[in-house]
A and B are shown apart, each in its own frame.
Chain A
Amino acid sequence: MKLEAELPHSAREPRMTRLARAVLGRQPIGLAFGAPYALFIAVLFAYPLGLAVWISFHRYFFTAPGVSVARPFVGLANYRAVFADPEVLRSFLNILIFLVINVPLTVGLSLLLATALNAAIPFRAFFRACFYVPYVTASVAMVAVWLFMFSSGGVVNSVLGPLAPVPSWLVNQNWAMPSIAIYVTWKQLGFFILLYLAALQNVPKELYEAASMDGASWWHRLRSVTIPGVRTVTTLITLLAIIVGANLFTEPYLLTAGGGPNGKSASPVLLMYQTGIEQNHPDFASALGIILVIGVLLIVGVQRLLQRNQT
């Protein structure tokens, strides 16, 4: 816009537009269209990310408003404290337990249900709706129901009778984290069924027909046609499960009463909340957050590379 003021001659107009195009692109209006989103990213993503990095390298704590305190540079001290903290290490182990249970269950069950749905069957829309209803419902609402279902005198234990674990699921050291993994599997499954369904509909019909002609069994068709056909979705689900695991907060906070018992179901984000905001160590919590960001990005990067090599 400045250029226009500097070049008032109408004779220069074409050259000016050419220059503007060279600088701003063929359709500069795109800058205006993208500006609000760019501003959003800058203010609420890039800047906070930078601030998190800064906080993680300094000694930082909350003070009363208007009070200014020294925030000395401490190098990697916060990161060292994070890796030396047994609670943090425990929370990473918890996420590993979560993934070991959640990923195979999710992949297996959503593929099974998607395969079952992928046919002209009665009440298809009804079944599909049943499966994704938990996905669209607030976790707080569903957690409330699970709390009662899995309490010591709850429905699940009534059915199991003497087989019920003591203490009950959500307050049992060994069952707290698996319970969360099973809950999250149940909650998210509907979304993954839809993804598998989309992938199954892209598998060429001819492959199944050819396999049937060759007398392939149901199991053989599954192994040599279906599973390779939906591999992209399977890797995507694994990836999304890792991101969900890195994100876990509501479930350990509400379902197992703050990551209990004894931190056996604490998640990294829960620890970020507890140390950063409840205990006023935002520097420690920021370092933990940055480690998780790097971890997630590394895993995404590795997955992208693997996928590129496969295709």
Chain B
Amino acid sequence: MTETVRTVDEVAVASEDVTAVEPRTSRSWWRLLVLLIGALVFVFPFYYMIVGSLQKQSNTSLSGVLPRPSNITLHNYGEINAALSLGKALINSGIFTGGVLLATVVFGVLAGYALAQLRFRGRSLLFVMMLLLLMVPFQLLIIPLYVLIVRNYGLGNSYLGMIAPFAINSTAVFIFRQYFLQLPKELFDAARIDGANELRILTRIALPLVRPALLTAMLLTFIGPWNEYLWPFLITKQQSMQPLAVALANYMNTVQSTVSNPFGTILAGAFVLAVPAVVLFLAFQRYFVAPNIGSAVKG
């Protein structure tokens, strides 16, 4: 891929455009066929989740795929709520995700701006460390993180312990840096000559220009902690502290035999867990587009 120098606005516009690359002459029926089959395969499990979560009597066979009016109930949602206290689990997920988003927006933007537009000692070291962090999967450090956070600092069953390893999302820092790099240097030099300090330049000039990047980075950051399972599972042994993903997984593993319709109850929980992320991405889908993400990954 060639390094394209485009202004942020152009990128945002290009992303909404439908750019047909292949000549019109090629017939498009095969495209539609391929896409329809693809869409069916991708969406069916979601459809099945909803249908299954509404079944009074669980029917896992083929005939259960179509909803029967006589077999529809919201009872499973009440059942999962009683088992997990959904409200509390959702609040835990929310605090976990919110904490990560807040730290990433504040400290990630500062770091991204510094890496892109400021010259200071240690900048290249910071950049190299960021790349390293992007490459080494967090899961490989669970043992020392568990030793430090749970054993040494006693932060097991706490929000701080949950948030800490995720606090600043490096992918988001990288996206911020890439977008701040694309802004013309002259803009900042002019503001500096006018006597504006860097914090003011960042908040008044740079940030408004990279709004699309901010939203893309926030969306990508959101799905990390909201969907994360391993880390919160390791450090929250009390159910009252568990995010929904952890509480639901524990429920799947242990207590499913105690309710009349484990199939429907688990799918109801899965639906509640899935909906916030899906709704958020559908609402902001114009920011979750190829050019924004591509710029983040190609480096």
By the criterion CB–CB under 8 Å, are A145 and B49 in contact? yes
- In the bound complex, what is the Cα–Cα distance between A153 and B223 (angstroms)? 32
Kindly identify, within residues 162 to 184 of chain A, every residue whose CB is under 8 Å from any CB belonging to chain B: none
- In the bound complex, what is the Cα–Cα distance between A46 and B148 (angstroms)? 13
Say yes or no for B205: interface residue by CB 8 A criterion. Answer: no
A88 to chain B, nearest CB (A): 14
Q: Chain A contacts of B31 at CB under 8 A?
A: 116-117, 119, 121
If A27-B198, A48-B144, A246-B137 touch, does A186 touch B62 (CB 8 Å cutoff)? no
Across the interface, B21 reaches (CB within 8 A) one of A118, A190, A277, namely A118
By the criterion CB–CB under 8 Å, are B119 and A30 in contact? yes
**Interface flags, B121-142, vs A, CB<8A=1, else 0:** 1110010011011011101111
- In the bound complex, what is the Cα–Cα distance between A133 and B273 (angstroms)? 13
If A25-B119, A25-B123 touch, does A131 touch B39 (CB 8 Å cutoff)? yes
Across the interface, B34 reaches (CB within 8 A) one of A113, A218, A221, A249, namely A113
Q: Determine the residue in chain B with the shortest Cβ distance to A112.
A: B34
Q: Chain A contacts of B269 at CB under 8 A?
A: 141, 144
- In the bound complex, what is the Cα–Cα distance between A151 and B262 (angstroms)? 14
By the criterion CB–CB under 8 Å, are B60 and A269 in contact? no
By the criterion CB–CB under 8 Å, are A137 and B277 in contact? yes
By the criterion CB–CB under 8 Å, are B42 and A131 in contact? yes
Across the interface, A137 reaches (CB within 8 A) one of B114, B165, B249, B274, namely B274
Say yes or no for A261: interface residue by CB 8 A criterion. Answer: no
If A138-B273, A141-B248 touch, does A247 touch B139 (CB 8 Å cutoff)? yes
Q: Chain A contacts of B277 at CB under 8 A?
A: 136-138
Does more than half of chain B's interface fall in helix, strand or loop, or is it mixed? Answer: helix
Q: Chain A contacts of B62 at CB under 8 A?
A: 155, 158-159
Q: Determine the residue in chain A with the shortest Cβ distance to B154.
A: A65
By the criterion CB–CB under 8 Å, are A148 and B60 in contact? yes
Kindly identify, within residues 84 to 137 of chain A, every residue whose CB is under 8 Å from any CB belonging to chain B: 109, 112-113, 116-122, 124-134, 136-137
Say yes or no for B20: interface residue by CB 8 A criterion. Answer: yes
Q: Determine the residue in chain B with the shortest Cβ distance to A113.
A: B38
If A26-B119, A209-B23 touch, does A117 touch B35 (CB 8 Å cutoff)? yes
If A144-B266, A194-B293 touch, does A41 touch B133 (CB 8 Å cutoff)? yes
By the criterion CB–CB under 8 Å, are B48 and A155 in contact? yes
Interface-side segment among A2-10, A11-19, A198-206: A198-206
* Cβ-Cβ contact count across A and B, 8 Å cutoff: 335
By the criterion CB–CB under 8 Å, are A140 and B270 in contact? yes
Across the interface, A197 reaches (CB within 8 A) one of B64, B197, B229, B290, namely B290
If A198-B293, A282-B143 touch, does A125 touch B285 (CB 8 Å cutoff)? yes
Q: Chain B contacts of A62 at CB under 8 A?
A: 151
By the criterion CB–CB under 8 Å, are B123 and A140 in contact? no
Does more than half of chain A's interface fall in helix, strand or loop, or is it mixed? Answer: helix
Say yes or no for B102: interface residue by CB 8 A criterion. Answer: no
Across the interface, B137 reaches (CB within 8 A) one of A24, A36, A154, A296, namely A296
Q: Chain B contacts of A151 at CB under 8 A?
A: 60
Kindly identify, within residues 1 to 30 of chain B, every residue whose CB is under 8 Å from any CB belonging to chain A: 1-2, 4, 14, 18-23, 25-26, 28, 30
Interface-side segment among B67-75, B105-113, B207-215: B105-113
By the criterion CB–CB under 8 Å, are A201 and B290 in contact? yes
By the criterion CB–CB under 8 Å, are B120 and A48 in contact? no
Q: Chain B contacts of A82 at CB under 8 A?
A: none
If A33-B118, A137-B274 touch, does A40 touch B45 (CB 8 Å cutoff)? no
Q: Determine the residue in chain B with the shortest Cβ distance to A45.
A: B133
**Interface flags, A231-267, vs B, CB<8A=1, else 0:** 0110010000001001101100010000000000000
If A34-B114, A119-B28, A140-B227 touch, does A52 touch B144 (CB 8 Å cutoff)? yes
B18 to chain A, nearest CB (A): 5
By the criterion CB–CB under 8 Å, are A296 and B297 in contact? no
By the criterion CB–CB under 8 Å, are A149 and B45 in contact? yes
By the criterion CB–CB under 8 Å, are A30 and B35 in contact? no
Q: Determine the residue in chain A with the shortest Cβ distance to B264.
A: A148
Please give me the 6 A-B residue pairs with the lowest Cβ-Cβ distance, nearest first.
A30-B120, A30-B118, A198-B294, A198-B290, A25-B120, A37-B111
Can you list 13 pairs linking A and B with CB atoms under 8 Å apart?
A34-B114, A34-B115, A46-B129, A133-B46, A140-B248, A144-B266, A144-B269, A145-B52, A155-B60, A198-B294, A201-B291, A282-B147, A289-B142
- On A, residues with C-beta under 8 Å from B are 23-31, 33-34, 36-38, 40-41, 44-49, 51-52, 55, 62, 65, 109, 112-113, 116-122, 124-134, 136-149, 151, 153-155, 158-159, 186, 189-191, 194-195, 197-203, 205, 208-209, 212, 218, 221, 232-233, 236, 243, 246-247, 249-250, 254, 269, 272-273, 276-277, 282, 285-286, 289, 292-293, 296-297, 300
> With contacts A37-B110, A49-B141, A145-B48 known, what are 10 further pairs, Cβ within 8 A?
A34-B120, A38-B111, A130-B39, A133-B43, A133-B278, A137-B46, A243-B137, A269-B139, A272-B143, A292-B137
